[in-house]
Amino acid sequence: MKNPGFLFVHGAWHGEGTWRRVVPRLRDAGFDARALDLPGSGRHARLPASFTARPFDAHAFATEASPNAGVTQAERTDAVVAMVEDMGGDVVLVGHSLGGVTISAVAEAVPEKLRAVVYLTAFMLPPSMPAIAMIQHETMATALTPALFCADPALVGALRINPMAEDADYVLQLRKTFYGDVSDADFAEIRAGLYCDEPAGVAVAPARMTSARFGAVKRHYVRCLADQAIPLAGQDFMIAAVDAAMGGATEVHSLEASHSPFLSRPQELVEILKAIAA
């Protein structure tokens, strides 16, 4: 039997390089494994001028409208659907963090082309819930991410962080939030590739899925037990909420990892993914 393909969808402020330690391992194991930069992300991200201006002006950064603000969830869904179709279907679709919003939409759009969906400590939202509501949910009370926001999303049109901050306390907060078990060298490398503006429209788009379509796709959730961006209580809430709404049970896996196991635990993650493919 032919192996399924793997398609990887990154989370907020990241890009396809997120998966640089995962994709080659799966290819070496005989899988067609691919990743992409979503619209508005990675090489497609547009940056406010105040992000790179020096000396840095915090007020300008907090008030300048985002050139990334017009990116929609529909654009992201369409981009991933196109790649699934290019791969010929029978795809295991993996989404990290906010990438969970996109893989849910793709599962609703083309369930017949997916072998499974895998949420890697991701936003697996129940029907009608937008990501912003989950960010504000009581189970997310200990999440460190909100402390990183540098602007009002309603004002600038984006969830704005400053990955190139010169403030040592801010940099430490960034590391604790996403990369708690990542080496100094890996943190420096990935930090250099982050963009600052995640389109706000993606975070306010309500999840739309049906049991007949999304619910027909086998789903998995990889819990990250030391995650400070999506705390374990939030992960478990989403699993229970989607199972109640869609019927069936999400198959759950766990990693002793921070929010970024693709860097800190790549081989363990690959073994989970190979087992799912089998």
The residues spanned by each domain of the chain are 5-277
Name the percent of the chain lying above pLDDT 70.
100
Please give the full DSSP string across 17-79, using - where no structure is assigned. Answer: GGGTTTHHHHHHTT--EEEEPPTTSGGG----HHHH-SS--HHHHHHSPPTTTT--HHHHHHH
Q: Is the pLDDT score of 48 beyond 80?
A: yes
Task: Name the H helices within 110-231.
Answer: 131-135, 153-156, 168-178, 184-192, 200-204
Per-residue model confidence as pLDDT tens digits over 128-177: 999 999 999 999 999 999 999 999 999 999 999 999 999 999 999 999 99
Per-residue model confidence as pLDDT tens digits over 88-101: 999 999 999 999 99
Mean predicted lDDT score pLDDT of the chain = 97
Q: Is the pLDDT score of 237 beyond 90?
A: yes
Number of Cβ atoms within 10 Å of the Cβ of 112: 9
Per-residue model confidence as pLDDT tens digits over 170-224: 999 999 999 999 999 999 999 999 999 999 999 999 999 999 999 999 999 999 9
Q: What is the pLDDT of residue 142?
A: 98
Q: What is the pLDDT of residue 1?
A: 63
Helix, strand or coil for residue 12?
coil
Q: Is the pLDDT score of 109 beyond 90?
A: yes
CATH code of 5-277, in short, is: 3.40.50.1820
Q: What is the pLDDT of residue 2?
A: 83
Q: What is the pLDDT of residue 141?
A: 97
